[in-house]
Amino acid sequence: MAWPAVRLCTGASMPLLGLGTWRAKKNDCYKAVKAALDAGYRHIDTAELYQNEKEIGQTLKEKFAEGLKREELFITSKLWNNRHHPDDVLPACQKSLTDLGLDYLDLYLMHFPVAYKRGDNFFPFNSKGQAETLDIHFMDTWKVMEKLVDAGLVKAIGVSNFNISQMEEVLTNGRIKPAVNQVESHPYLGCHRLLESCTANNIVMTAYCPIGRPGSSEAEQYKVSLLDDPVVKEISEKHGKTPAQVCLKWQVQRNVVVIPKSATPSRIQENSQIFDFELSEDEMSAINSLDRGANGRLVRFAACDTHPLWAFSGEF
């Protein structure tokens, strides 16, 4: 049975649950994607930055040979900051397609609004840890991404880590509307205003870090421990579910797509078991009230926080 999906402004269907693959390297990524597809996932989220698209492509090739059809899948990739120059957009997309072994992407996102120095160094940082950036506005990059749609290389384009004002600028000035805005979101970072804006403009919001990246250095540094939160735990116990499943269900009931990352087959399976229960209005409100605003943010792109297009100085 197909899992619930949302409808993009293009008319395409995007599964509400996908597998995130950030920091999933080489063989671990291959195994994770295989386990996810075997468990029923049909939505895989990746990016050139993650350096695992070849491994994902190998898994897809094997699954296609077993009878899986390309049109059953929803594959997302992203354009990293060092590829924002208009001359670099098409080659970057083509490289992702080649590595994935695909003719087209279902969704291609601009990973972040700030342009880094051109070249193959993903993190061109100076001795002070600040990114070397270019004076390229994201709209110049967006206009070339639109041509990828025209060429049939991608079915839809969108943005990631864009604040409300930046997203609305693309809406106003772009020829093709962004289908998705992918941002960090979890109960401590609800992005309620952004979700309102997305809904009003027929843009789908996707949440990365939907369970707060447990065990990470960022979670420790910013004191984000969602799976131990008393409110989340109480609700999970009431439903006979895990705290992680409750966090994912909260997003799905808001019509937010979730892409939890895991390399553990049992966890991948567990994350998919969220469509057999419902949270009450009171439970949704209780989780909404956990929002800490910007203080709940784990991913901050601090290396470019002095840049005028740094997203997190604006409203989410």
Vertex 251 angle, CA 247 and 255, to 5°: 160
Q: Burial, 1: exposed, middle or buried (Cβ in 10 Å; 0-12, 13-18, 19+)?
A: exposed
Residue 222 catalytic? no
Q: Which of 30, 41, 50, 108 is catalytic?
A: 50
Q: How far is CA 226 from CA 91, 133, 143, 291, 302, in A?
A: 39, 34, 39, 11, 23
> How far, in Å, CA of 256 to CA of 49, rounded?
24
List active site positions.
Answer: 50
